[in-house]
Amino acid sequence: METILASSIAAFIVLTVIVFGACAFLTGQTLAEGWKPESTLYGYIVLLGLGDRFLVYGLFGGPLLSLHGFVVHTAFIAVIAVVTFRMARARRMVSQYPWLYERSGPFGWRERPGGRLAE
């Protein structure tokens, strides 16, 4: 398992899951609440992945320049950030425009029947 993660399991749980998972959650939520485009989220995900890789190296003695480790850890961070972004964006659309949209699952919204603006 440590070969797949390119770090110890403890380092993955403490840094990637808890610390950077919380950062990814807050990043996704903040960008969605600020009406930023989803494309900006991916730049922040890469930065979080680089920070995670550096702290794995600095605190736990893992390899710094491990492409495989970077990809695995960043993919985990990306899942948390994207899921949070889409859930927050759906919540924001429905709460901001309740006369136009209604919830359509945890990640989406749909146009409310008869909710169109007069043209």
Evaluate whether residue 118 is within a structural domain.
no
Query: Residue 108: phi, psi to the nearest 5?
Result: -145, 175
State percent of the chain over pLDDT 90: 62
Evaluate whether residue 117 is within a structural domain.
no
The whole model's pTM is what?
A: 0.86
Residue 102 in contact with residue 48, Cβ under 8 Å?
A: no
Evaluate whether residue 92 is within a structural domain.
yes
Residue 56 in contact with residue 11, Cβ under 8 Å?
A: yes
Evaluate whether residue 41 is within a structural domain.
yes
Question: What 3-state DSSP class applies to 118?
Answer: coil
DSSP-derived letter for residue 106 is S
Count of domains observed in the chain: 1
Evaluate whether residue 58 is within a structural domain.
yes
Q: pLDDT-derived band of residue 108, with 50, 70 and 90 as boundaries?
A: confident
pLDDT (0 to 100) of residue 66: 86
Residue 24 in contact with residue 84, Cβ under 8 Å?
A: yes
Print the domain residue range for 88.
2-111
pLDDT (0 to 100) of residue 49: 96
Evaluate whether residue 60 is within a structural domain.
yes
